[in-house]
């Protein structure tokens, strides 16, 4: 599979210019800024929509006073939720500052630092008292998970896996080259 | 906002996301959006209806 774009009958690019390119910079961009990875790959419509959807989900989460998770050794599943929140990239930093008043990624174990744990949980309880907290938390988790999926999608496009798979599933004679329809 | 409106907003955002993620052309995207959106709402309402006879113990 070639990495270059080929010209179609109408003079438009029919092959993704990003096929088999190095995925690391687009993936990093996708994580840092939702939709940026797709924009770098020339998939403008997707990039704009993804940015709008992820940022809207995150904004709703913050406005509904949602909290982000921190890894709690006494609640192992919180690690997965923390990973989901971290998927939002730098947006997670903002939400974490709102939730904990600092970059708190772990809640101290009560056997190691009982006072620190109590302080962290007290701060968290103030937020959890909000009636809309659970909704906000769901929107924040959704934003993080969607952005993680975007990073994986950009990776698949970069190694040439996604474009051909999408064309097989969604065939169109006039768009056989997989042109992104903006 | 009410629980229902928040649920619709969440379903809408997720549906748009997956429609653009999994489909390349506008027609299939619209169908995918509608399928996911209606599926999420109908599924949630069906689950709510099934759980209605079983309220949370000690709940309001």
ipTM: 0.86
Chain B residues whose CB is inside 8 A of the A54 CB are: 17
Q: Answer whether residue A37 shows pLDDT above 60.
A: yes
Contact by Cβ (8 Å): B17, A153: no
Are residues A166 and B23, on separate chains, in Cβ contact within 8 Å?
yes
C-alpha A80/C-alpha A71 separation (Å) is 8
A162 min Cα distance to partner chain B (Å)? 9
Q: Model-level pTM greater than 0.95?
A: no
Beta bridge partners of A70: none
| pLDDT, tens digit (0-9, with 9 covering 90-100), for A86-137 | 999 999 998 888 888 888 888 888 888 888 888 888 888 887 877 888 899 9
H or E element at residue A78: helix A78-86
- Asked whether the predicted pLDDT for residue A181 surpasses 70, the reply is no
Tokens of A45: 């419509």
Residue A180 touches partner B, C-beta closer than 8 Å:
yes
Looking at beta carbons, which residues of chain B come within 8 Å of A45?
20
* Own/partner long-range contacts of A111-118 (Cβ < 8 Å, ≥24 apart): none
Sign of CA dihedral A137, A140, A144, A150: positive
CA distance B17 to chain A (A): 6
The pLDDT assigned to B22 comes to 93
User: Do the Cβ atoms of A170 and B14 come within 8 Å?
Assistant: no
């Amino acid at each position: 599979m070639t990495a270059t774009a080929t010209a179609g009958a109408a003079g438009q690019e029919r092959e993704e210019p990003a096929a088999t390119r190095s995925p690391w910079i687009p993936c990093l961009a996708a994580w840092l800024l939702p939709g940026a990875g797709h924009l770098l790959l020339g998939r403008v419509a997707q990039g704009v929509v993804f940015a709008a959807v992820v940022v809207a989900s995150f904004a709703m989460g913050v406005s509904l006073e949602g909290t982000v998770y921190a890894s709690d050794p006494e609640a192992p599943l919180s690690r997965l939720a923390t990973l989901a929140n971290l998927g939002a990239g730098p947006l997670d930093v903002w939400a974490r500052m709102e939730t904990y008043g600092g970059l708190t990624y772990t809640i101290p174990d009560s056997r190691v630092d009982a006072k620190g744990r109590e302080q962290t949980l007290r701060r968290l309880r103030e937020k959890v008292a909000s009636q809309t907290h659970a909704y906000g938390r769901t929107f924040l988790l959704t934003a993080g998970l969607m952005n993680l999926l975007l990073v994986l999608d950009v990776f698949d496009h970069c190694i040439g896996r996604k474009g051909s798979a999408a064309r097989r599933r969604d065939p169109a004679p006039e768009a056989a080259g997989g042109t992104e329809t903006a | 906002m009410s629980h229902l409106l928040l649920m619709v907003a969440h379903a809408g955002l997720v549906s748009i996301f997956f429609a653009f993620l999994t489909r390349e052309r506008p027609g299939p995207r619209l169908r995918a959006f509608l399928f996911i959106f209606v599926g999420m709402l109908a599924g949630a309402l069906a689950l709510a209806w099934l759980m209605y006879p079983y309220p949370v113990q000690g709940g309001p």
